[in-house]
Amino acid sequence: MIPKRFEYFCPTSLQEAISLLGTYGEEAKLLAGGQSLLSLLKLRVADPKYLIDLGRIAELAYIREPGACDAAARTDGPEGEIAIGALTTYAAIKGSRLLQGRCPLLPQTAAVVGDVQVRNRGTLGGSLAHADPAGDMPAAVLALRAELKAVGPSGERWIRAEEFFLGTFATALRPDEILTEIRVPVLKAEKAVYLKAARRPSDFALVGVAVCLKLGRDQACEEVAIGVTGVTEKPYRATGVEGRLRGRRLEPKAIEDAASAITLGVEVSESIHASQGYRSHLARVYASRALQAAR
């Protein structure tokens, strides 16, 4: 399969990329790792006139220590953040000592995306901007309550993960914006887990549940955020489950009760691999297991 003809640009700075995107607007497409876009181009589902390759913008691939970030983006929540450039590959995230030590949920999640080859090319920014309804990283950034930085011709703005995913392949990014950075908290008292149900190890999730949990006194749940993927048209926060957990001791019964709210208010997807009923069941079971594991 061969993509349609397009004009190709490979800017070496973010500024250059933004001005190209400003010039060509909706007729242009950004290329990051290409692990989703190349297939879309080949199937001609996407047929941009202009392709802007971000792959040579070295300033967009980094994982930075807390403190090395400029003015903190978040106003509440845990202190200390790690900044990750949008072009950082899954392989770099999986192998990052810094993340393994301070925010292990991200490397743990990156490790179960696709296969070695996909992880060598695919990027965190690309996976979030692509917003596949079964993407793994979206669940993790939701549970981490990450902040996403979008830069466009009129400057930069921060978008909270839970406001980023709008629908299947649809995000809060404007057509002239580039996702440049993802900020995640340093996990201290929190424990975090991502569990994925897939038919084979390198497949997309039938259901994926990411949990970030902080226990207080008496082992009661002080704070919890749960990101869910694969279940409906977009990755989402399971606020129904979170609400039932806050303030409660996480006995098995309490976990089961809360997990049963995981599909509350969402239209559960159906496919040849999982009926609505089966997928809902998986979601409940994986939510329970993830909570048990994070406890």
**Interface residue list for ligand FAD (CB under 6 A):** 29-37, 54, 86, 113-114, 118, 122-123, 125-127, 129-130, 132, 135-137, 173, 178-179, 202, 204
| Contacted entry of ligand FAD, other proteins, none for residue 86, CB cut-off 5 to 8 Å set by kind | ligand FAD
For other proteins, the binding residue among 22, 23, 53, 278 (CB under 8 A) is 53
Q: What is the DSSP letter of 229?
A: E
Cβ-contact 236, 209 below 8 angstroms? no
Tell me the DSSP string of 17-35.
HHHHHHHHGGGEEEESS-T
Considering the complex, state which of residue 53 and residue 222 has its C-beta at the smaller distance from other proteins: 53
Within positions 200 to 239, which residues make up the interface with other proteins, using CB under 8 A?
201-202
What is the C-alpha to C-alpha distance for residues 108 and 140, in angstroms, rounded to an integer? 9
Considering the complex, state which of residue 36 and residue 263 has its C-beta at the smaller distance from other proteins: 36
| Contacted entry of ligand FAD, other proteins, none for residue 4, CB cut-off 5 to 8 Å set by kind | other proteins
Secondary structure (3-state) at 202:
coil
Considering the complex, state which of residue 78 and residue 122 has its C-beta at the smaller distance from ligand FAD: 122
What is the C-alpha to C-alpha distance for residues 90 and 96, in angstroms, rounded to an integer? 10
What is the C-alpha to C-alpha distance for residues 292 and 295, in angstroms, rounded to an integer? 5
Within positions 175 to 204, which residues make up the interface with other proteins, using CB under 8 A?
201-202
Does 45 engage in binding with other proteins (CB under 8 A)? no
Cβ-contact 135, 229 below 8 angstroms? yes
For other proteins, the binding residue among 21, 28, 41, 287 (CB under 8 A) is 41
Q: In terms of DSSP H, where are the helices of the chain? A: 14-24, 37-42, 90-95, 97-102, 105-110, 116-121, 124-130, 136-143, 161-164, 239-245, 252-259, 276-294
Cβ-contact 106, 89 below 8 angstroms? no
The DSSP bridge partners found for residue 29 are 51
Considering the complex, state which of residue 91 and residue 193 has its C-beta at the smaller distance from other proteins: 91
Show the site string, 98-117: x = touches other proteins by CB under 8 A, - = not. ----------------xxxx
Which range, of 29-37, 74-82, 153-161, 168-176, touches other proteins by CB under 8 A?
29-37
Does 27 engage in binding with other proteins (CB under 8 A)? no
Considering the complex, state which of residue 5 and residue 97 has its C-beta at the smaller distance from other proteins: 5
